[in-house]
A and B are shown apart, each in its own frame.
Chain A
């Protein structure tokens, strides 16, 4: 047995039976992180003692004969935009470097109740804004399959940590594809649940109407266990929906009969890599061989999804991130330097007799905001704050935000029509496999197009799952995306499991240096 490659379900069984202790599991994974994360940089912070203390508590419970939770002793890596009580939660931003939340996110609370061990916080694009994890203020995460390539983003640290065997499970957040895309690029299984399925309380907001927390694992069966643990209504998040949560862990292994799947022509248009297109087509044939019927469906407004997404997400972000102003928490610019700067400016303007300049000078308060935000945020975050601020400004609101909302509704209606005909839509997750670090950093537009196949599910609030369906010519993983109607996660998990029973792509592991 090689603990870093064991599934969460097997580990739980071994810990429950006493064949393994939680401490043994956690120790093995901490050692693996120790050995390999210096080069991968998937983890932002790992507190060995804290992780081992959690594991020991589980073992103690077992020794006392107390009931163990559904994830007892299973290490889970958590994206560093989910609040963990008494531990730093940085969103990979200088702005939140000093921030220690006094509360756990609801999902963290549910993990703890289930006996999971929060093994560490993973790297991400700053405030989850990006598709490569290169926008982190604290270093670039590398793809375990090829360290010269990106792991995808923004939950790149979580995806890479699962692929590298640092943890069998991880939590990410998905606003436009931020779970599904890195899952595809790192060759793991990741799901974005229906909007409202999982509480957002304690998730540092990027775009509140699109953000959703979801699970990573190395199989649909493992993802099912984690989703079952974190899903469900939370009175602290009124956008979480009060519908019953199925026992995904029990139903996942039941194959679907008479499965009707749809594919979308636009998914195979310009921009998609040949290897990706071929692997996805092959996966569709696999479903056919498993008894599914296949037909083409149309999502006529899908071509607007990037445009809509890059209005709505920045608008919400510009407001959500306004609170980071250096006044209440987080980073604050050096006030002595700031005041000296203001004094110099004032003296210069006075000397020049520039009345107008003096009248226009920042107050100390405004300068505190300006400097704190200039120093605390990275370029991509600033770009999106500016986009959103512009689009919400008076005179532009109707042309951008309001129009985007209207098209968002059309996109949702496209899906509604499609799901009247098929159970799920099968397609690619990303246009290409992992590209080289730095390759697109200076080309935000091509970076934004990477979300083309994923952000529709966020706009429509649908669940989507990404699972490995092959490798390209360079040995890089390719992802398959399944999307279903709202609250049909169970269908997606069962369909993903059917595929993983018929194929072994998800069992391949990268060789770590």
Chain B
């Protein structure tokens, strides 16, 4: 029986900002170019060159800080973080040390499956820095011959550091999911983990309850986390491993130096990483080549006003104004701002949020998925779909027939009327409908008897027959007329 304990997790997230050019020079930040083709004397640190701040990167960072409810400093400066590494051409990284552009703030984490209660995860800071290049080490050969690609060197990077407020690996994953969604909504990053535009390191230790005394175990930093799922798995593994180590050695925080472990997702284990060559004394000092950055209170207020509705606020609105459940609002909001806008227009025009949500999730999103397109590329406008929904709601079309019409609209980019016409759907006039119903009643005395005996459900068979004779009949109308006629017999 293991000792009662709490898991303490803090995250450090590096996000590449979606600027066209680098943080301190004009080079492109496009991913995937030939190595060392997106470089210039400034970003390869040639002697005599000087950095010039990309104001756009700073603005995107401020927008993010505003969305994360951070305090934004009116005065911020750049510092040099000095260390040697082949992918760092100046042998220092321009970063922010004691006066980051923003501090505090936080993000509410919720779980659509409601495995956990919503929790507010506080942030320590968000700061800006330049990315390093990429070393392509031949470590297996043990000779560390390296080739270096400096295309990435100088790309604007925003570092988000949380307080150690996260208590479970699941919470860590949910936090990251929500953070990524916020960043995507803001348009500040593409958050592509495969291309390295979002990178996560996690710090984890345990608070073990020793008969009322809380004992903290040594903090471990986990790196090489290549997906949110990997973060969750690595932390689950690490929590168990640390408890084992604690029960075996009794090591407390401070007894051993902070350890860095790399996560091997395929093997499902973490491994101690080789010590870095450089010492951890980064000799930070203000970068004398860059003037401090100032922003006015008015500009900060404008940035806050420009944030707009954040995902959590949108979910709440969908639930409040359109009566959606938590699961549905989550699916729609997680689909991105464009999908939400589509939904809002659809629901407004159709006057029915739940109907709009059903069609959006079951039909539209499926089509997007099947065709691998975005809502912006979807050929049926919200207005057109709303017309279709009105016909379904009015009983003119049943759900299946409505789907046929939508498929035709998707395939040919037609409006509802045109699609119905092409499918040969036309409204059947009342006299013809009554005549059809009389005919069916005459031909089905057994069903009529069942209905008369109180089994109203039996009328469904009449509807089926009516549809076989004329696919365009309104099933609701058929049912109503048949029941009226039988009643009158």
Contacts and interface: CB of A to CB of B under 8 A. Distances in A.
Query: Is B one of A's binding partners?
Result: yes
Nearest to B287: A208
Interface string A295-337: 0000000000000000000011011001111011110000000
Contact of B48 (A105, A330, A394): A105
Contacts of B259: none
A113 interface: no
B240 interface: no
B277 A319 contact: no
B50 A200 contact: yes
Given A102-B41, A364-B144, A394-B283, A323 B52 contact: no
Interface string A349-374: 00000000000000111100100000
A201 B47 contact: no
B47 A101 contact: yes
Given A103-B41, A238-B52, A205 B47 contact: yes
Interface in B210-234: none
B82 interface: yes
A319 B82 CA distance: 7
Contacts of B92: 319, 322
A239 interface: yes
Given A364-B144, A393-B283, A323 B291 contact: no
A96 B46 CA distance: 11
Contacts of B289: 205, 208, 238-239
Nearest to A211: B288
A512 interface: no
Contact of A323 (B45, B51, B53, B290): B45
B196 to A, nearest CB: 22
Nearest to A83: B48
B470 interface: no
B47 A99 contact: yes
> Which of A83, A91, A96, A323 has the most chain B CB within a 10 Å cutoff?
A323
A30 interface: no
B89 A323 contact: yes
B84 A208 contact: no
Contacts of A394: 281, 283
B324 interface: no
A500 interface: no
By secondary structure, the A interface counts as loop
A236 interface: yes
A138 interface: no
Given A203-B48, A319-B80, A322-B82, A401 B285 contact: yes
B48 A205 contact: yes
A427 interface: no
Interface in B93-136: none
A325 B91 contact: yes
Given A238-B291, A239-B291, A322-B90, A369 B47 contact: no
A150 interface: no
Interface residues of B, number: 33
A238 B48 contact: no
A238 B82 contact: no
B285 A392 contact: yes
Contacts of B3: none
Contact residues on A (Cβ < 8 Å of other chain), bracket = 35 or more
Interface in A93-109: 96, 99, 101-103, 105
Contacts of A328: 44-45, 89
A404 to B, nearest CB: 11
A318 B91 CA distance: 10
A282 interface: no
A328 B283 CA distance: 22
Interface in B269-307: 277, 281, 283-285, 288-291
Interface in A399-454: 401
A475 interface: no
B480 to A, nearest CB: 77
B29 to A, nearest CB: 20
A82 B48 contact: yes
A208 to B, nearest CB: 4
Given A202-B48, A238-B53, A366 B277 contact: yes
Nearest to B89: A328
Nearest to B53: A238
Contacts of B284: 392, 397
> Which of B47, B143, B145, B289 has the most chain A CB within a 10 Å cutoff?
B47
Contact of A238 (B47, B50, B148, B281): B50
Contact of B46 (A101, A327, A401): A101
B144 A363 contact: yes
A18 interface: no
Contacts of B290: 238-239
A293 interface: no
Contacts of A401: 285
A201 to B, nearest CB: 5
A9 interface: no
A481 B46 CA distance: 35
B326 interface: no
A309 to B, nearest CB: 14
A389 interface: yes
B46 A329 contact: yes
Contacts of A236: 50, 52
A91 B47 CA distance: 10
A237 B50 contact: yes
Given A323-B89, A323-B91, A365 B277 contact: yes
B285 A319 contact: yes
A235 interface: yes
A323 B48 contact: no
A99 B44 CA distance: 14
Given A365-B144, A366-B277, A101 B41 contact: yes
> Which of A105, A327, A401 has the most chain B CB within a 10 Å cutoff?
A327
Interface in B48-66: 48-53
Interface in B235-292: 277, 281, 283-285, 288-291
A39 to B, nearest CB: 30
Contacts of A239: 50, 288-291
A209 B77 CA distance: 14
A102 B41 CA distance: 8
A204 interface: yes
A392 B86 CA distance: 22
Contacts of A205: 47-48, 289
Contacts of B47: 83, 89, 91, 96, 99, 101, 204-205, 323-324, 329-330
Given A205-B48, A322-B91, A365 B41 contact: no
> Which of A101, A236, A328, A401 has the most chain B CB within a 10 Å cutoff?
A328
Interface in A230-280: 235-239
B49 A201 contact: yes
A382 B354 CA distance: 74
B80 A363 contact: no
B48 A316 contact: no
Contacts of B53: 238
A47 B82 CA distance: 38
Interface string B25-53: 00000000000000001001111111111
Interface of B: 41, 44-53, 80, 82, 84, 86, 89-92, 143-146, 148, 277, 281, 283-285, 288-291
Kindly list the 4 A-B residue pairs having the minimum CB-CB distance in the complex, ordered from nearest. A322-B91, A209-B288, A208-B288, A392-B283
Given A239-B291, A329-B47, A394-B281, 6 more contacts: A89-B47, A101-B46, A102-B46, A327-B89, A328-B44, A364-B145
30 contacts: A83-B47, A91-B47, A101-B41, A101-B47, A102-B41, A200-B50, A202-B48, A203-B48, A204-B48, A205-B289, A208-B288, A236-B52, A238-B53, A318-B82, A319-B80, A319-B91, A319-B92, A322-B90, A322-B92, A324-B47, A325-B84, A325-B91, A328-B89, A329-B47, A330-B47, A365-B144, A366-B84, A392-B283, A392-B285, A397-B283
Interface of A: 82-83, 89, 91, 96, 99, 101-103, 105, 200-205, 207-209, 235-239, 315-316, 318-319, 322-325, 327-330, 363-366, 369, 389, 392-394, 397, 401
